[in-house]
Every structure is written in C-alpha cells, then in structure tokens.
Amino acid sequence: MGMILASSSPRRQELIEKITDKFTVVPSDVDETTIKETDPVRFAVEVAVLKAKDVGERYPDDVVIGADTIVALGNSIIGKPTDEDDARKILGVLSGTRHRVITGIAVYRKRDSKLLTAHEISYVKFKKLSSKEIEQEIKRNEYMDKAGAYAIQSVGDRFVEEIRGDYDNVVGLPIKKLKRLLMIFDIPPCEIDIVDMALPKNWAVGRSGGMVVFVPDAVYGDRVRVSITERKKHFAYGKVLKVVRPSPYRTEPLCRHFGTCGGCIMQNLLYETQIDLKGRYLLNTLQKIAGPKVLEGVDVSSVCPSPDIFYYRNKMEFAFGEDDGTVVLGLRERSSPVGGYRKGTVALSECVIFSDIVRDIFPIFREFAQKTGLGVYDPYTNEGFFRHLVIREGKNTGEVMVLLITKSGEVPDMTGLMDDMPESVKSLWWVENNRTSDVVFFERKHNLYGSSFITEEMCGMRFRIYPQSFFQPNTRAAALLYSKIGEELKDAGVDKLLGLYCGSGVMETSLSSVVKEVVGVDIELSNISTANENCKTNNIKNCHFYQCSVEDLFKKHRDVVNNPDAVIIDPPRAGLSKKALKNIISLGSRRIMYVSCNVSTFVRDIKELKEAGYNIKKLLPFDFFPHTAHLETLGVFEKE
C-alpha cells in the first residue's frame, strides 16, 4: 500500500514533500469543465473527490490525495485561463479586489471506500493593477496552469497588498490541513452511543477509547458508526457513517430545510427531550462554573415549555444569497466542525419557527433584487448591495413590518415593492448598513411605506414596535415569564421596581399593575421614547423611563434609581460588565431578578452576586426558543 498524489502540479509535489517523500504522482483525467456545482467551496471539494476517485479506481489499495484550487470573486468561480486573452481578462477582473483562494482536499482509498474531505480558504487582496503591469505578467508566460492566472510566489508584492490565511493554500495545497487528514485517515471507524448533547452547539457526545467524541448530526440516544475527522489532545470530532440504532427520541422534522439551515438544530428531536436536555445543561453549567453547592437550598423549577413550538418567533433576520446567478433569500448555513463553515445562504421556501408570511414576501424581494442587478452582499469580500431582509410580526395582531437592509450607494426605485405585498404588511423600511460584519446594523433608516411602527398585544396591553425596538422574540412565552415575575413581586410586597436594560419598557409596563412605582433605564434613547409611548397608549401613570447606561447609573440618575425594593435586570447576551455589576450591587436592593438568555454569562454573574451577599433563591427556566439550544432563565436573588 502506497500514497499517490493525483496531480501533476509541481507546486503541489514540492509542498507535499514537506511531510513525506514516500509518494508517487498519477495525474487524474477529470474534466473540471463538466462539473455543474456553482458554490465555490463545494466545487473545489467535488473536483478533489473526483480526482482522488478517478486515480483510486486504478490503484484500489493505495491512499490517493486529490486536490483542486480555485479563485472565487464573490460567488463567481475563476479557474485556470484558457489562453492569453483569458488570462489578461482574469487579472483585470481581480485587480483591486479581495478574493478567496479555495483548495478542496480529498483523501481516498478504494479498497474500503474510505473518504475524508476538507477545504481551506485564504484571502488575497490585490493592488490596483495597471494595464502595463498586467501585460508584463502575461509576458512571463506563467499563467496557464494557475487558478486566477497567477502564481503567488511569482507575483508577490508586485500584485499583492495583503494575504490572510494559509500561504501554502494560495500556492496550491494547504499542507497543515492535509497532514491532519492523513494522521487520522487510518484510524478505524468506531461505534459509539450518544449519551449527551454539547449545548449550545448541539453536537452529539459519545466516547471512544476513553476520549470524548463530538458528532454533529447525531441525535441523543443514537448508536452510530463514526469516522474520526479530527483529533485534538482531549477530544475528537466524528462524522456519522451509519445510524446503527436510531434514538427513541428521534422525530421527523417539520421543515424541509432542516439539516442545512442554521435557523434551528433540534427539529429531529422530540420537544420533551429538547426541554430535558436544556434543563440538564443549565444545571450542569451552574455547578461546573459556580461550584457543586451553588444549588443548595435553591427552588429549581423544571423548564417552562413554550406555548407554541412552531411559528413562535415574532422576528427573523434573513440573508440574501446567490445560487448559480440567481438571488435567494434564507438563513446562513449550519456551522459544523466536520464540514467547515462557508457563510453560505440556504435558500428557504418556508420557516416553520417564524411565520407563513415568508411564502408571500420572499418572492417579491428575490425578484426585485434580481432585476436591479446590484448583486448580493458577500461576507468574505464585503461587496454587493443586498444584505438582509428583516421581518417582524405581531403574533396577536397579525401586523407585519418588513425591513430591507442594503449597503449605501445607487438606490433602485423601490416604489413598486408594495404592489404585491400582503395586506398584513403595515410598515416597510429601507435600512442602510455599511459595516463589514455580517450583522444587521441600523446606520440610516428610511420609512418607505405605511406606519413607522406595528403593534402587538400582550398581557392585556398594546405595544408599539419600531424597527430597532427590543421585544422578546417569543411573544406568548414572554407573557408567561412576565406573569411569573409579577407573582414574585406581589408575594414580596414590592412597591418600587427598577428595571435595568429595559429596552422599550414592555416588561416594566406589563408589571406596572403589581407595584406602586416603576423606573426603567436603557442606553438607547429610541427605546426610552418607545417606552414612554407604550405607557401613554396603555394609560400607565406610574412608569418613568430614563436614558443612560447601567455603567453611568449613579453619575446621571442617582436620585431616581436609589432605594428600589427590587431590581430587574435583562442584559444582552454578553451579560453584565464589572462596572454595571458593581453599580447594581451598590443600589442596596434586597431583591434582584435576573433575566438571562445566555447560560454561561448568567452563571458567571451569579458568582459575583453571591460574593456580594446575594443568594439565589429560585431558578426558573423558560423555553423561548424551541428547536434551538437557547434558553431564557429567571434567577431570583435575595440579600441576607
């Protein structure tokens, strides 16, 4: 048994010699032009697999290495030039751009049909090239067998402004990644029982040979046959080859896109089991970080299930993408340690955790974006116009708000967008976002049609929701949480309540009937304005809202925040900063009620509160996010 490199590239041969000189070269006969795949990463991996299998058919006992390197500008695949004119054209297109160099790798043995694949992505920023510089490179006549019509070792600083990632990958073979693949290739497959799920990633957990193995795509309770794809010092990753014995907790996913879309990760698991796993994760994390005695004397409730397990979300942020030149709308693909993450957009025709409204709205914006020809935003190159489509829906009113998020620039005519929109759409916005991160940011916003807000009903009240308003994403589950907090406040005889990180004041307004006075504080002035509007709409007289950060609480509003009977904090996922936590403790309130959407930061802050004399008395988890790993948790603290 030997090793074969299925490539005639002298660059790959030189690179592979860094790890072994015991290989032979057998070029494959694969015609890359016949491959229909249009996604750059999948294309590179598919070609690598075809090359490895082509040679492997002739040498079934040998380990065959296939590789393919391409250049991708946006979602366009740029391979090797066909002639001098094509090379000249390619270099002109790449001039001044940041593009991706992608290499797909396949390690294959025909005898036992064993195949491991991987890919590497590097980023190359070209300087703006003059026609003279391009012609000089053409005269070198080194372009014909090079993806992108250039060899990085040849053009060097003359063309390249910046390289991010593996340099060897740009040359033609990511040798470090190949070395890891070869190290684990001969590890025999193993059968393992899935005994837990590693939340919040939702990777199945088993053991083999005393080592923890994380197995994406397996389900709690499965017995699976696994191929080890990567081995670390204390754990490994495995790929499911076969489900030997399906879990009794498995169920058929409702959504046709489940498995590729990153919107939810547990639709194939019974909801009762999801809740059990989330509750276990909460308690295990508490005891792991805060100590085994943290729950002594604590009244721990079971997880309160969501009233709706499908169509429960009132807001979703969808992403524009492209598939073979066609604009698509959907969610970013699910990340995996086995297959890598490409930030690709999975085209959706439905979203069962959100609303049926996407069936009517998506076609309108797909067609609009396609007709403009302005292109979709590429998170790798930061180029393209259309970025996100955000939809908000009042679950109890049926009112819908749509926000089109784009980069700034030439603005297409948007006047016809409402012509075919459902009647439920009461508000349409255009938002400009020029940040490089792949998140929705409200740099500038424009109300194109209808009202500037939609309304939602909850807890017997009516609330306004603007584009940036914070509103718990599961309306009916939030009502259960607020009702429970109200019971706690009433039982404790609270008169003055201070709400920190109050957002648009929905929780504080909802609790106004059980206390004499409510003060809310939030850093966003727009949230404070909306909170005051919500009070006026519901004729609430005992709520007062102030704008400032919790870090500046005493500097700006010492008089109004002093001496609360209870403090409610509902911070962002990052939890509390040290200064914010110090200020909260300095308030001297006997009771703190901490609402958290991040178990890890919640547990971290518990330790600080405990050191300040606040003991957790009750722990009440609420499932706001069925089919995902997330959990909303209420901790009730009292100072002795």
Residue 328 and residue 345: Cα distance in Å, rounded? 8
User: Please, are residues 61 and 16 in contact by the beta-carbon 8 Å criterion?
Assistant: no
Band of the pLDDT at 329, cuts 50, 70, 90?
very high
Q: Does the pLDDT of residue 240 top 70, yes or no?
A: yes
Given 402, 437, 458, the domain boundary residue is 458
Q: Do 40 and 67 lie in a common domain? A: yes
How is 383-429 classified by DSSP, letter by letter?
B-SEEEEEEEE-TTT--EEEEEEE-SSSPPP-TTTTTT--TTEEEEE
CATH number at residue 401: 2.40.50.1070
Cis, peptide link before residue 200, omega less than 30° from 0: yes
Q: List the single range of 139-148, 241-250, 612-621 with lowest mean pLDDT.
A: 139-148
Residue 639 and residue 619: Cα distance in Å, rounded? 16
Q: Which of 410, 597, 611, 638 is catalytic?
A: 597
Q: Do 195 and 336 lie in a common domain? A: no
Three-state SS at 612 = coil
Q: Do 290 and 421 lie in a common domain? A: no
pLDDT value for 340: 60
Higher pLDDT, residue 369 or 76: 369
CATH number at residue 516: 3.40.50.150
Q: How high is the mean pLDDT of the chain?
A: 92
Higher pLDDT, residue 302 or 608: 302
Rounded to 5 degrees, φ, ψ at 274 are: -55, -50
pLDDT value for 341: 57
Q: Do 302 and 366 lie in a common domain? A: no
Q: Do 45 and 167 lie in a common domain? A: yes
Q: Does the pLDDT of residue 103 top 70, yes or no?
A: yes
Average pLDDT estimate for 521-543: 95
Q: Is 575 left (phi over 0), alpha (psi -120 to 50) or beta?
A: left
- Is residue 264 assigned to a domain? no
**Total number of domains in the chain:** 4
User: Please, are residues 331 and 289 in contact by the beta-carbon 8 Å criterion?
Assistant: no
CATH number at residue 196: 2.40.50.140
pLDDT value for 288: 87
Residue 636, both tokens = 């009730």
User: Please, are residues 307 and 477 in contact by the beta-carbon 8 Å criterion?
Assistant: yes
- Is residue 466 assigned to a domain? no
pTM of the model: 0.85
Computed on alpha carbons and rounded to an integer, the radius of gyration of the chain in Å comes to 28
User: Please, are residues 494 and 565 in contact by the beta-carbon 8 Å criterion?
Assistant: yes
- Is residue 260 assigned to a domain? no
Q: Do 209 and 229 lie in a common domain? A: yes
Residue 349 and residue 466: Cα distance in Å, rounded? 26
CATH number at residue 150: 3.90.950.10
User: Please, are residues 26 and 86 in contact by the beta-carbon 8 Å criterion?
Assistant: no
- Is residue 428 assigned to a domain? yes
User: Please, are residues 329 and 318 in contact by the beta-carbon 8 Å criterion?
Assistant: yes
Band of the pLDDT at 429, cuts 50, 70, 90?
very high
Given 436, 458, 480, the domain boundary residue is 458
Name the residue among 215, 222, 217 with its Cα closest to residue 236: 215
Rounded to 5 degrees, φ, ψ at 327 are: -70, 135
Three-state SS at 294 = coil
Active-site residue 611, yes or no?
no
- Is residue 448 assigned to a domain? yes
pLDDT value for 55: 96
Give me the residue label for tokens 């600080």: 608
Q: Do 540 and 621 lie in a common domain? A: yes
Active-site residue 632, yes or no?
yes
- Is residue 465 assigned to a domain? no
Residue 167, both tokens = 């340099």
Given 139, 161, 184, the domain boundary residue is 184
pLDDT per residue over 255-310, tens digit each?
Answer: 999 988 889 999 999 999 999 999 999 999 988 888 888 888 999 999 999 999 99
User: Please, are residues 624 and 630 in contact by the beta-carbon 8 Å criterion?
Assistant: yes
Q: Alpha carbon of 615 to those of 50, 300, 493, 609: distances in Å?
A: 61, 13, 19, 7
Q: List the single range of 15-19, 117-121, 140-144, 589-593 with lowest mean pLDDT.
A: 140-144
Q: Do 37 and 164 lie in a common domain? A: yes
- Which strand (E) or helix (H) includes residue 189? none
Q: Which of 46, 333, 508, 632 is catalytic?
A: 632
pLDDT value for 342: 63
Q: Do 105 and 82 lie in a common domain? A: yes
Q: Do 55 and 138 lie in a common domain? A: yes
- Is residue 261 assigned to a domain? no
pLDDT per residue over 466-492, tens digit each?
Answer: 999 999 999 999 999 999 999 999 999
How is 94-163 classified by DSSP, letter by letter?
HTT-EEEEEEEEEEEETTTTEEEEEEEEEEEEEPPPPHHHHHHHHHHT--TTSGGG--HHHHHHHHEEEE
Question: 298 lies in which domain range?
Answer: 272-307+471-639
**What sign does the CA torsion over 119, 120, 121, 127 have?**
negative
- Is residue 464 assigned to a domain? no
Q: Do 114 and 234 lie in a common domain? A: no
Residue 32 and residue 44: Cα distance in Å, rounded? 10
Q: Do 71 and 107 lie in a common domain? A: yes
pLDDT per residue over 135-150, tens digit each?
Answer: 988 888 888 888 898 8
